[in-house]
Amino acid sequence: MALQTFDTPSDTPDVSLFNTAELLRARAQIQQHLGGFDLGTMNLAQELVLQYSMVQQLITETVNDDTIPLNQRAQAVNSGTQLLIQLGKLQTDVYNASRVQRIEGAVIATFERLGEDYKATFMQLLRDSLGE
């Protein structure tokens, strides 16, 4: 199948007309053609949120579908719960990393204002506390 190109913005499909499931499927198809990303360029937080969106859509489609066995519906709900747990942990990790950066910045700014004798004492205490 030939690749469809869009020369002007008016040629592009109006994505607001698609439902969430259709948009997620289209994203997955596009991602397959883009290929893999290395871990350094991947936004893990965004990817996890997108995965949660896909699982949430799956839950929505399956939880009330009586043709799907109950255990499979329960598995879909469990997947959503596990992703929520991961998102919560990720939020905590990001908050903690940001807080540590702010503390480091405050320590460096304070350190720069100290006299040389205090700097030497501080550095020795820091080395001792780090076990170096």
pLDDT, tens digit, for every residue of 86-98?
A: 888 988 998 899 8
Please check whether residue 100 lies inside any domain of the structure: yes
Would you state the pLDDT for residue 71? 92
Domain that holds residue 57: 9-130
**For residue 21, which of 55, 66, 48 has the smallest C-alpha distance?**
55
Please check whether residue 4 lies inside any domain of the structure: no
Please check whether residue 1 lies inside any domain of the structure: no
Please check whether residue 2 lies inside any domain of the structure: no
Please check whether residue 104 lies inside any domain of the structure: yes
- SS3 state of residue 119: helix
Would you state the pLDDT for residue 32? 75
Instruction: Say how far apart CA 26 and CA 13 lie, in whole Å.
Output: 12
Instruction: Say how far apart CA 50 and CA 67 lie, in whole Å.
Output: 27
55 alpha carbon, distance to own chain's centre: 15
Please check whether residue 68 lies inside any domain of the structure: yes
Bigger pLDDT: 63 vs 37: 63
Please check whether residue 3 lies inside any domain of the structure: no
Mean pLDDT of the chain: 82
Would you state the pLDDT for residue 39? 65
96 alpha carbon, distance to own chain's centre: 15
Please check whether residue 65 lies inside any domain of the structure: yes
Instruction: Say how far apart CA 13 and CA 125 lie, in whole Å.
Output: 63
Instruction: Say how far apart CA 56 and CA 50 lie, in whole Å.
Output: 10
Bigger pLDDT: 2 vs 50: 50
The token pair at 13 is: 């499909």
Instruction: Say how far apart CA 49 and CA 61 lie, in whole Å.
Output: 18
Count how many domains the chain has: 1
